Every structure is written in structure tokens, then in C-alpha cells.
Amino acid sequence: MSSYMTKEITTALKDYYVRANETERIILNSALAAAAADAVGGIIPGLAIPAIIVSCFGAVWAMYASLCSTLGISLKENVLKLLARAVLANITANLGGLLIAMFAGMFIPGASILASAAVSFIAVYLAGIVFLRLILKMAQKSSDPYTFSDISSSEMKAAARNITVTKEDLNAAKAVYEANPS
């Protein structure tokens, strides 16, 4: 199951990229993989927090590379690095409080594995949505949506700061998680 967010963004991206419809699957699969990896790591006492960190960041970087590759965005010229840094800074700023609250749930006996997997899924899913929103903004601004060569790194960072994760986005991500048991 997908959400309104991915359908809306995918539709807009189709103006610039032939394979935009594949982005939805990439985001969902990356989020599911992060949740599963985190759940497996959480079974071993003391590994829940390291597992969530490794599974989230690993899944996010792999997802970003896969999204760029699928859309035909050049991975040369540090485009991926610039986009990813901008988005990760955005996610950290927007979701910091939420993730701390969800981490607290990880310390409830018996619920820690499920809470940890949910945190991983939601964080990776929202990172994918924010990344696609940034790509869409850059594609709309740039004369070359495959390299963004006419957009500076400071412009990318500024554009990423203006992309917010709303409560509606969070609720949609939770709904997608609940509809896709990992």
C-alpha cells in the first residue's frame, strides 16, 4: 500500500522522469528492509539502539542511491551527497522530538522490538518522501533535472530547509506501516 504522499509526488515527478512510478516501490521496500533489520537486531539485548541507527542510515543511503539511479539523476558531481545531506539535516530537525518519544517506547518490556521497527520504518519512509520532494523542487528549478548543475549546494540546502514534515505526513507514514506488516 502506498500513501497519498507518494502518489502525489510520483505524479509530479513524471513530468521530469520516465521511471518516476518506480519510486514508490523503492521507498516502501527500503522502509520495510530497515524495519526488518532493526527488529532482528532488537532481539539481542543491548542492540536495539545500535540496530536502529545502522538500519536507518544504511537503508536511507541505499534508498537515495536507488532513487537517483532509477530517475537517471547523475551520481557524479556529488549530487547524491548534497541532496542526502540536505534531506538528513531536514529529517533530523523535523523529527527529532518525535523520534525521541518513540525511542522511549523502546524501553517498555515486550514492546521494544515493535516500537523500534516502527521508528525505523517511519523514519526511512519519511526520509524518502522528503528526498523526493527535494528532487521535485530541484527538477522544477533546474534546466537539467539529471544533474542540477545550475543549482548551488547552498540553494539545495535552503530548498531542503523549506520542506517540512507535517503531522499529516507522519499519520500517513504510520498508516502505510500498519498496512505493510514486516
Every domain of the chain and the residues it spans: 4-179
Classify the phi-psi angles of 76: left when phi > 0, otherwise alpha if psi is within -120 to 50, otherwise beta.
Answer: beta
Query: How many C-beta neighbours within 10 Å does residue 19 have?
Result: 12
Shortest CA distance to 48 belongs to which of 123, 112, 137, 108? 112
Q: Where are the beta strands (DSSP E) in 16-175?
A: none
Write the CB contacts of 158 (distance below 8 Å, at least 6 apart in sequence): none
Q: Whole-prediction pTM value?
A: 0.81
With beta carbons less than 8 A apart as the criterion, state whether 139 and 13 touch.
Answer: yes
Q: What is the pLDDT of residues 3-33, one digit of tens each?
A: 666 788 888 999 999 999 899 899 989 988 8
Q: What is the pLDDT of residues 79-95, one digit of tens each?
A: 666 666 666 665 665 55
